[in-house]
Amino acid sequence: MGLMTGKRGIIFGVANDKSIAWGVAQQLHEAGAELAFTYLNGALEKRVRPLAESLNANIILPCDVQNEEEMVAVFAELEKQWGKIDFVVHAIAFANREDLKKPFSQTSRDGFRLALDISAYSLVSMTRCALPVMKEGGSIVTMTYLGAVRTVPAYNVMGVAKAALESSVRYLAAELGAQGIRVNAVSAGPIKTLASSGVANFKEKLRVAEARSPLTRLVNQEEVGKSTLYLLSDLASGVTGEIHYVDGGFNIAAG
Ligand code: NAD
């Protein structure tokens, strides 16, 4: 019996085998969970479908989080096929590259809206759609970054979006606790992925994290996956509204 045997849930945010969401998916699968996946568009479906199928997933659906109809359709399909779900993984973020290159004060109104919509509001709308299907309580985990609470060079509008995301975690946790639904975030250290390649001078972030983290090394997708597994499992039954750092301790270090 695995930690997640008998539990079913959905993972938003696999783009390829370097995605943090993929690291999470592998841990959940090994722990016995049954998984559904979404992909952003047709181009990514080609990468996501074989990965999902390698973990025996049958429910693999399109979902652009800006498209409310697609989101509603995803959870309707889960209800149709499974009746109920136990967990949701939200590992999605986006900001225009140009907005991450310019000084923060030059962020465009549209760019600000876009980053906040895809990276923060999507957790709120996703949770709203998941509620009717989380019939016996559940656990929701999203991915955040230290740039929410400290300034990180070039993280700019994405830091503001992550601050909104972390606050949303707390408000959702406060609202949904009485229904047995827990909401938490994992704050990962820098990891080379498709999304992080859009952050200017990302290599420098990797170098600094490695040099200054108490663990004196970078973290990887597997480690983020293991901590997410804990938060999604009954091991964390008393934990909600938390921002859980998986960054080798970098966030505690100064200087
Ligand atoms: P990734 O590129 O593998 O994943 C980002 C995902 O967001 C992709 O699957 C992409 O398809 C999806 N996405 C973007 N716009 C979307 C939309 N409109 N609708 C639906 N999906 C959309 O990169 P990742 O680094 O694995 O990112 C996953 C999460 O982890 C993000 O929230 C990111 O901010 C967070 N995170 C990453 C790092 C890091 O260093 N890589 C550190 C901390 C937190």
Question: Which residues does ligand 1 sit against, CB inside 6 Å?
Answer: 13-15, 19-21, 40, 44, 63-66, 91-94, 118, 143-145, 188, 190-191, 193-196
Residue where the block lists tokens 């199928």: 53
Count how many Cα atoms sit within 13 Å of the Cα of residue 143 in the half-sphere of its side chain.
Answer: 32
pLDDT of 200 above 90: no
Nearest to 38 by CA among 4, 80, 67: 67
Residue 68 has pLDDT above 80, yes or no: yes
- Full-prediction pTM beyond 0.95? yes
Distance CA 119, CA 121 (A): 6
Arithmetic mean of pLDDT over the chain: 97
Percent of the chain with pLDDT over 90: 96
Residue 255 has pLDDT above 90, yes or no: no
Task: Please tell me the distance between residue 1's alpha carbon and the centre of ligand 1 in angstroms.
Answer: 31
Average pLDDT for 5-33:
98
Residue nearest to atom 19 of ligand 1 (CA): 64
pLDDT > 90? residue 134: yes
Active site residue 171: no
Would you state the pLDDT for residue 1?
80
Instruction: Calculate mean pLDDT across residues 119-139.
Output: 98
Whether 199 has a pLDDT exceeding 90, the answer reads no
Beta-bridged to residue 243, according to DSSP, are: 185
Banded pLDDT at 4 (limits 50, 70, 90): very high
The rounded percent of the chain whose pLDDT value lies above 70 is 100
Contacts of 104 (CB under 8 A, 6+ apart): 156, 157
Catalytic position from the list 155, 171, 230, 245: 155
> What was the pLDDT predicted at 161?
98
Q: Which atom of ligand 1 is nearest to the CA of 221?
A: 26
The confidence score (pLDDT) of residue 26 equals 98
Q: Which of 145, 171, 230, 245 is catalytic?
A: 145
Q: List Cβ neighbours of 46 (8 Å cut-off, separation of 6 or more).
A: none
C-alpha dist (Å) from residue 214 to 91, 185, 220, 251, 253 = 26, 21, 15, 9, 7
**pLDDT of residue 210 exceeding 80:** yes
pLDDT for 10: 99
Annotated catalytic residue 145 = yes
Mean pLDDT of 208-232: 97
Question: Cα(19) to centroid of ligand 1, in Å?
Answer: 7
Give 238 Cα–ligand 1 centroid separation in angstroms: 27
User: Ligand 1: distance of its center to the CA of 144 in Å?
Assistant: 10
Average pLDDT over residues 156-174: 98
